[in-house]
Structure 1
Amino acid sequence: MTTTENEQDTDTVTTRIVDHFDSRKRGWVKEAIRVLNADATRSADTHVFQFPLPAQWGIDLYIKDESIHPSGSLKHRMARALFLHALCTGWIDSTTHVFEASSGSTAVSEAYFARLLGLPFTAVVPTSTSQEKVDLIKSYGGEVRNPGPDGDIEKEAARLAKESANGHFMDQFTYAERAYDYRDDHNVAATIFRQISEERHPDPKWIVAGAGTGGTGTTIGRHIRFSRRDTRVCIVDPQNSAFFPNWVANEGRPKSQWPPDPSTWIKGSPSHIEGIGRPTVEPSFLPAVVDRMISVPDAASIAAMRLLLDRLRHRAGPSTGTNLWGALRIVAEMLSDGEQGSVVMLMCDQGERYMHNYYDDTWVQQTLELDLTPYTKTLEDFLATGRWNEPPATAVPRAREA
């Protein structure tokens, strides 16, 4: 046999080995996608509840309860979308170690899906993350790490992924908006419109959501445009977060029209409301699809979170309180303007994750140094009288609509 023939035989064997490997790899990816789609089929539609408002107001407030997903939060949809995006892009295979930076709920949901696919998972979380969330991540087999001395969870997650043999940094803050499919019939906006289609005001005036990555708000805004609806999107933002001041300063323009030097952007401090709010504007936040933003004081978020438990008997987390404060403020404005219709807000995660902090009066007073009394009074007086009187010393400006 000649040298050339030997080389051809070797090439043929090598090609067969590579083809076999690629076939096994592709087969695993196909099965992984089937598993994720099966999960979506089982849990696509979550319940919608009606918040009790006086019937004579002619305004209905609906709460889309995303806390009942298998992993317990709104982030279940996003985590599944991120895994599907990574699988279809070729970033994940059967040997991948997945890493994420998260304040907790995204990490819980990604740990759920990593276990579903048999993949190792590590979450880098802030030191302030509730112990309940840390325990949930671990219960799904995930590892929990804290950031380095600079407190940057994203930088640490990226470093760990790079140093891992086959690591992948999921990077929710960058990829959430492109992983979500706003044209899909099972995204959160599509299910909202479908589920209230038989109500007396089936086309909501507003949908209210918070911004952590910005992916959910972006998906809702895009779907509204895609489905040619008149519904508007209001993003509520906790105090000190960078989303609200940047949106106001730039009049809701896309980032490409912003000053290119990041040092000119308005920056905030870390949010005290877990799950939403960021010190810098994330790539997944697209301000052009946001019609309005409301900045919500931390004490108002926690007061509203507790009001939800009192009035609806549902225990939710503080980001849901942020949503409820913003939604009721919009209801108050509609009522003052003589406008009728419906408003929809999202319930983000389960309150059981916050029993040792946000539902603990001592923790709120000593750790956050917050007084909930004036905000609780604002909410209770509004529901009793229809008049909205926000505490003047801490009132925040209403962002003009884009």
Structure 2
Amino acid sequence: MNSWIAQAIQKIEADFNRSSDTHLIPLALPGVPDIHLYLKDESTHPTGSLKHRLARSLFLYGLCNGWIHQQTTIIEASSGSTAVSEAYFARLLGLPFIAVMPNSTSAEKIRAIEFYGGRCHLVADPATIYDVSRQLAAELGGHYMDQFTYAERATDWRGNNNIADTIFRQMALEPHPVPRWIVCGAGTGGTSATFGRYVRYQRLATQVCVVDPENSVFYDSYHSGHTDHHCTGGSGVEGIGRPRVEPSFIASVVDHMIRVPNVASYAAVHFLEEVLGRKCGGSTGTNFYGACLLASDMQRKGESGSIVTLLCDDGNRYLNSYFDPAWLAANGQDIAPWLESYRRFFHHGQWQVPA
């Protein structure tokens, strides 16, 4: 093996060795005491999000496939968090990094990429990030990481300390150690593929629910069975939802899908700040909506059990959007009725979507 590649792999493995697992936070729901909710806090990774796991896997995959070499420029198409994490690993290996992102990406994420030495190439149309990334890779003789294709391939879904494996080990001593549901969003689809494959491989009764924001094609594709759906523009929730069905989205391992109004996601992060004492990103709000819906359904059926979802990243990355009253007003998002819905469900177990 090339000595530089061997050293690069060792650096990534050493970085992993220095990291502890992320916490699994219980969130008691007084209104539905028989349902136990847990949030896997992925914001505590060195780069602050769930995508740290994916970036590590993609770099190892690229190195072991012989695609990444010394001085290779790394290019990625991203809505933000994956690019932040890949910029971190590129700096670790001394490689140039370029993120191709929609120009609507939060300023906080752009600053984080630049902090790690990456460069941001912003485009007006989110649908063009793939072609622009390929073009840049060809022009620079670089490597296009293509998270949307390789996310489900680069992760060892059988175990090896992946996110599913760590969740089930952390749940072992809980009252309901095998969750009734795991809830996650889909950006690449890699996380839902990992969960879906893992629970089947381990022969577990857990079902996987994917929540999809507005203006994203995953929900429609799942229910139609077709993968040729397209839409224009971004989803309104950074990190999840896509204008096309990504190759890493494996619908056959998903048990249920829920479409989530963006206003419900935005209100959820404000509500979570009330009950957790901290800010969470928009995709966490989308997850929480799905968890509430599933908990309400379990309560109606007289079921008890646990639900696990993800706290994907820190809400301080979105101070100028989801947490900015002026931004919400300018985008016509009235979160007040939804906040009341969450409070009513949390305290009294009564779930009702605002009119």
Letter in 1 for 2:336: T
1:171 and 2:146 aligned: yes
Specify the alignment match of 2:30 in structure 1. Answer: 54
Q: Is the 8 A contact 2:218 2:242 kept in 1?
A: yes
Q: Give the secondary structure class of the aligned counterpart of 2:323.
A: coil
Match of 2:21 among 39, 45, 56: 45
Specify the alignment match of 2:317 in structure 1. Answer: 353
RMSD between aligned alpha carbons? 1.5
TM-score normalised by length of structure 2: 0.97
Specify the alignment match of 2:247 in structure 1. Answer: 283
Query: How many corresponding residue pairs?
Result: 355
1:376 and 2:351 aligned: no
Q: Is the 8 A contact 2:32 2:346 kept in 1?
A: no
User: 1:389 Cα shift?
Assistant: 0.7
User: 1:237 Cα shift?
Assistant: 0.5
> Which structure is larger by alpha-carbon Rg, 1 or 2?
1
Letter in 1 for 2:123: P
1:78 and 2:42 aligned: no
Match of 1:181 among 150, 156, 165: 156
| CA gap 1:193/1:362 in 2 versus in 1, 3 angstroms | same
Q: Deviation string for 1:79-137 (max 9, x for gaps)? A: 00000100010000112000001111000000000001110000011100010000000
Within 1, Cα distance between the matches of 2:212 and 2:32?
Answer: 30
Letter in 2 for 1:95: Q
Within 2, Cα distance between the matches of 1:56 and 1:239?
Answer: 28
User: 1:313 Cα shift?
Assistant: 1.1
Within 2, Cα distance between the matches of 1:216 and 1:294?
Answer: 16
Letter in 1 for 2:321: N
Within 2, Cα distance between the matches of 1:320 and 1:38?
Answer: 29
TM-score normalised by length of structure 1: 0.86
Q: Is the 8 A contact 2:29 2:347 kept in 1?
A: no
Q: Is the 8 A contact 2:213 2:235 kept in 1?
A: yes
| CA gap 1:360/1:163 in 2 versus in 1, 3 angstroms | same
Q: Is the 8 A contact 2:189 2:249 kept in 1?
A: yes
Within 2, Cα distance between the matches of 1:202 and 1:297?
Answer: 31
Within 2, Cα distance between the matches of 1:363 and 1:382?
Answer: 27
Q: Deviation string for 1:270-311 (max 9, x for gaps)? A: 200000000111000000000000000000001111111110
Q: Is the 8 A contact 2:284 2:310 kept in 1?
A: yes
Within 2, Cα distance between the matches of 1:222 and 1:40?
Answer: 23
Q: Is there any run of 5+ residues in structure 2 with no aligned partner, and where?
A: none
Within 1, Cα distance between the matches of 2:65 and 2:7?
Answer: 15
Match of 2:294 among 323, 327, 330: 330
User: 1:54 Cα shift?
Assistant: 1.8
Summarize the alignment of residues 84-123 of structure 1 with structure 2, pairs less than 5 Å apart. Answer: 84-123=60-99
Within 1, Cα distance between the matches of 2:138 and 2:131?
Answer: 11
Q: Is the 8 A contact 1:57 1:335 kept in 2?
A: no
| CA gap 1:355/1:99 in 2 versus in 1, 3 angstroms | same
Specify the alignment match of 1:253 in structure 2. Answer: none
1:146 and 2:110 aligned: no
Q: State percent identity of aligned pairs.
A: 50
User: 1:267 Cα shift?
Assistant: 3.8
Specify the alignment match of 1:303 in structure 2. Answer: 267
Within 2, Cα distance between the matches of 1:181 and 1:109?
Answer: 19
